Chains A and B, each alone.
Chain A
Amino acid sequence: MSAADFRKLADLFPDETVTHSYVQDIQLPAAGGKNSGGKPSAGTFALITLDNGLDHSKPTTLGPNTLVELGTVLEGLKDRAARGEIVGVGVTGKPYFLVAGADLSAVKSLNNRDHGLWMAQLGHDVYATLANLGVPSFAFINGVALGGGLEIALQSTYRTVSTGAGALALPEAFIGLVPGWGGVYILPRLIGPENAVKVMIENPLSNNRTLTGPQAFGLGMADAMFEPADFVEQSLAWAAGVISGDAAPERPNAVDPSDPAVAGRWAGAIAAGRAFVESKTSNASPAPAKVLDIMEANRTMSQEDSAALECETLAGLMQTDEFRSTVYAFLDLVQKRTKRPAGAPDRKLARPVTKVGVVGAGLMAGQLALLFARQLKVPVVMTDIDQARVDKGVGYVHAEVDKLLAKKRISPDAANRTRALVTGSVSKEAFADADFVIEAVFEELNVKKQVFAEVEAIVSPECILATNTSSLSVTAMAADLVHPERLVGFHFFNPVAVMPLLEIVRAPKTDDAVLATAFELAKGLKKSAVLVKDAAAFVVNRLLLRLMGEVTAAFDEGTPAEVADNALRPMGLPMTPFTLGAMVGLPVAQHVQESLHAAFGDRFTVSQNLQKLIDNGVKSLWAPEKGPDGKPFIPAETLALLSFGTSPSTGGEVLRRTQDALAEEIGLMLDEGVVAGPEDIDLCMILGAGWPMFLGGITPYLDRVGASERVNGKRFLAPGVASAAVAA
């Protein structure tokens, strides 16, 4: 076939932002290079530049039209090679990108399995031409090379990489696909099966980690590495050396799969990969296992046979809602929606923040002070009721700075600067010239109201007051303020330095300037902010507690602990409910649950068993270490504290019950106007609770399993948003 045979697919995407394949003929320097004098050129080298003509904020991607153009160009070059007109072909990209990968929006919209298969076959058709030009092909990896972009490089005969290249990866297992344009076949052969599993499985499933140019070179993914300042020049000179036979790359990590020793390593790498997938996803998403299935099978296959398997697998995975949900979560939410938070006022209304006050010097206060000082680089003053607490709080921040310095995360000068920015005082007078004061005191309404009354007596009328409350009413906190319009909720997640979400809580009187400032602050703190209405526990904690409440209730009713706690495995959540409860702290969880029960009634059941654990100082239901059989167990003395009902559920029943509870709660939250839409719920759960993208956060999953229809009589998201456009 030729690329033109896929025109029918390309024609489905008339609006594709095409990445063009521009060809320049370059006369290679004669062998011997610079001292060759006037000797004739070593031949003509055709260099393809992949460029969409847009600036670096618009990555180059591979859509059907792009691939057809590239394939047609390569076929022309193959003809020229056959005529002896060229001695080699190179592929590189516009500045900062080789290619950022397949056009996921386009792939996601391929609802017909045949169209998906065409897309997979089109890629293979184009890359097969690249790999069989009749002359050597070279990829000059100048920048970002993801997925199908990196596979262009892998399918080339040789590769150079820039020391400045960032983001090299095969993220398909994370996206919900497989590196099925040859990556899964070539990579283990090129860099060894263990490294290949690291690149294709471990990195994608570890927050979609990518490789730098030097890391990729270290793994053996490129034959030569050059600095960005003259990367193209040096890559071409290197290619000339290879073509003339002066330079022959060594590939110490490359393996021959037919070697029995390699077969053993191959199987070991697959097994390690499967264990990793199980630990990270509970096998809740099909794609990672498929990557390993193909790699396992293709050890003894020809590249053509593997290609056929890759295409079939891709075509199947493209029709999964796990894939579509991931694209929705990754592109529509995390990449796009975070940049324009729904409901955020015009940023021009924002006021400058040149000094921050933190009321309290406890652990949360210290985390906040460190974050503000590091990111905003403005003075931060912490207050508490006595000097000892103040010293301890400031001391914590300084110690954290020292840790960052020891890990070389910051320079000595930055450490000095940050330490100097954070000071403490026993008097709130220190807040007099602050623009923003946030409280992190005990989670008790009257305490917080008292604090704000004191602060308001000192600060300017424009100074913004913020609360980090997780469950109290911001509205009630503002009730007695002289300027209630200045109070805003600023709810971080633990650990503050790591978790990317910030729930910004608008109380009824919070004014736009305050809100705009809060959003600008969030940006300055490098957090993704979601605007939420003042409703008990906002979004993340409300849903987490509803979920934990359902599972705990099932346990209290008599469901065995291992059944209850493992019932949600098919969702692939980052940890089980009981583990989460222990991590949050049982008293904290119970406290929030009580607030929610007070606000919403019996939907949030307060577990008497849980209270008994708290009363007896038990920190976790599960014993800290595993039992003799290697499984978690509940210590007998813990068990003795508890009492159970007589209506146990199966895991399936617990799962369904939890799905329905989540669907009910989200439906109510949307009715109450807690957030602008289900997208914000999903964004919150992804960024604040680490819920997986293959769930799309949560609402695509609830639509997928029918919970939305069961409970609310309708879906959260229209078909096509995070699922197939037309119901199958």
Chain B
Amino acid sequence: MSQARSSRNTRTVRDVVFVDGVRTPFGRAGEKGIYAGTRADDLVVKCIRELMRRNPSLPADRVDEVAIAATTQTGDQGLTIGRTAALLAGLPRTVPGFAVDRMCAGAMTAVTTTASGIAFGAYDVVIAGGVEHMGNHPMGEGGDPNPRFMSERLVDPAALNMGNTAENLHDRFPAITKDRTDAYAVASQDKLAAAYGKGQIQPDLAPVATMKPGQGWTVNTVDEPPRPGTSLEDLAALRTPFRPHGRVTAGNAAGLNDGATAALLASADAAAELGLPVKMRLVSYAFAGVEPEVMGIGPVPATEKALRNAGLGIGDIGLFEINEAFAVQVLSFLDHFGISDDDPRVNRYGGAIAVGHPLASSGVRLMNQLARQFEEDPSVRYGMTTMCIGLGMGATVIWENPRHSEYAGYSGAVFPGDNSAAETATTEPATTETEGAAA
């Protein structure tokens, strides 16, 4: 890598690929949860080490950056967690790291920020991920909202409570009823249970050993939050904690969870050089702001912007991984784009309502699942990961499936799990959709 790639004469935008991603099993926050007594930074460390173990052809000193997101950056999530986690994971001290915060889209922002650095030529290989131990760090802990939010009516104080914003979304879209959100939630549980049954979730989980007083060591290999077999009747019986006779319940929303994720990204060139697999190619991304009071609608403008950047239409997207902070938020997105509630392109493995949503970690979970669905379904060319963000934002990343017949870039020496002969790696820079759109 001696060749300069950022000088004035040779500036090029480089293709960025998603090499691999893992996560810890997610836990329920609180004293009874599997990660009570476990540190958040240790959860990140398990992910980084698992990534390095799964990709032995990557020399650790070739990692150029470790970006880890956390919403609450104090205590075991403080001290610039990207750097501390890199040190604790045993990466060389030459590997730098930093911390990211964009609330729920933390890990997604870690990915897009470092991916931009790869495209720009600042990095070859990065680790990007996120963590939230909501047991150790209850939502909003230590927050100190500026009184101007209220005095100048900048943001309705109620909008700082995500459950309230979900109720607000029901107000805005009366067509989204509690019956629809409950049905969507039941389907999410069912789809996750089915995915577990088919072994589609387990391969990307890093086992986490934990020790609790009076119990000894155990190893956690599956998610704790799912409630398979949940019925509409079960959900109907739940309280609506945000409003009397409201619509949002613990059953049609993601819970409070602990967990961490991490992904390995690389330039297509570096992936080819190092013999790393390519699970997805980054096509475009976008973030957008909306009224904080209805933050759940954020994915709509973010998606429109990302599609525009990519020169694609919504019809080009064959798979959606949308974070299920609230069922109403997912349905508002689907309604906007004219997609049915049970469209098979959407959240094939279920979503956060079932598996959990440790805030800043979730973005990479969406990517892991999209990558596996790409592997299972080479007929799909483009997929999308999208999520809503507190204080009124949305984030969307569009990815291309390297197994699709029209894919032109480097696709990895061997697809993981494939027994087919190694494909010849191409080191020619591919023309990206991004560049096409910008031209």
Contact = CB atoms under 8 A, between A and B. Distances in A.
A242 to B, nearest CB: 16
A51 B198 CA distance: 38
A24 B215 contact: yes
Contacts of A20: 214
A611 B208 CA distance: 73
Interface stretch (A36-44, A204-212, A308-316, A396-404): A36-44
B365 to A, nearest CB: 17
Nearest to A36: B199
B211 A47 contact: no
B6 interface: no
Nearest to A27: B221
A261 interface: no
Interface string B192-221: 000011111011001111010111111101
A582 interface: no
A92 interface: yes
B229 interface: no
A511 interface: no
A254 interface: no
B218 A24 contact: yes
A425 B357 CA distance: 67
Interface string A180-217: 00000000000000000000000000000000000000
A37 B209 contact: no
B90 A229 contact: yes
B159 interface: no
User: Which of B49, B196, B219 lies at the interface centre, i.e. has the most chain A CB atoms within 10 A of its CB?
Assistant: B219
A569 to B, nearest CB: 50
B208 A233 contact: yes
A37 B213 contact: no
A458 interface: no
Interface string A594-623: 000000000000000000000000000000
Contacts of B196: 38
Contacts of B197: 38
Contacts of A587: none
A353 interface: no
Interface in B35-76: 45-46, 49, 54
Interface string A664-688: 0000000000000000000000000
A363 interface: no
A250 interface: no
A92 B209 CA distance: 12
Interface in B140-198: 196-198
A448 to B, nearest CB: 50
A492 B211 CA distance: 45
B198 A38 contact: yes
Interface residues on B, range: 20 to 34
Contact of B215 (A22, A27, A34, A36): A22
A229 B88 contact: yes
A23 B215 CA distance: 7
Nearest to A33: B203
Nearest to B209: A232
A48 interface: yes
Contacts of A166: none
B89 interface: yes
A230 B219 CA distance: 11
B18 to A, nearest CB: 18
Contacts of B90: 227, 229
A92 B216 CA distance: 9
Contacts of A236: 207, 209, 219
A233 B207 contact: yes
A35 interface: yes
Contacts of B315: none
B244 interface: no
B54 to A, nearest CB: 7
B89 A94 contact: no
Contacts of B213: 51, 53
B211 A39 contact: no
A24 B220 CA distance: 11
B127 to A, nearest CB: 15
A705 interface: no
A95 interface: yes
A49 interface: yes
Given A34-B54, A35-B417, A29 B221 contact: yes
A34 B197 CA distance: 15
Interface in A156-198: none
Nearest to B207: A233
B60 to A, nearest CB: 12
Given A37-B198, A37-B202, A38-B198, A230 B49 contact: yes
A26 interface: yes
B49 A229 contact: yes
A187 B62 CA distance: 42
Contacts of A231: 209
Contact of A232 (B45, B49, B219, B416): B219
A20 B211 CA distance: 14
A26 B211 contact: no
B39 to A, nearest CB: 12
B125 to A, nearest CB: 20
B223 to A, nearest CB: 14
Contact of A229 (B89, B203, B207, B218): B89
28 contacts: A22-B214, A22-B215, A23-B216, A24-B217, A29-B221, A37-B198, A37-B200, A37-B203, A38-B196, A47-B216, A49-B211, A49-B215, A51-B213, A53-B213, A94-B211, A229-B45, A229-B46, A229-B49, A230-B49, A232-B209, A232-B219, A233-B46, A233-B206, A233-B207, A233-B208, A233-B209, A236-B209, A237-B207
Given A38-B200, A49-B217, 19 more contacts: A24-B216, A29-B221, A34-B54, A34-B203, A37-B200, A47-B216, A47-B217, A48-B216, A49-B211, A51-B213, A51-B214, A51-B216, A53-B214, A229-B49, A229-B88, A229-B89, A232-B209, A232-B219, A236-B219
Q: Top 8 A-B pairs ranked by shortest CB distance?
A: A38-B199, A49-B216, A37-B199, A22-B216, A232-B209, A24-B218, A233-B207, A49-B217
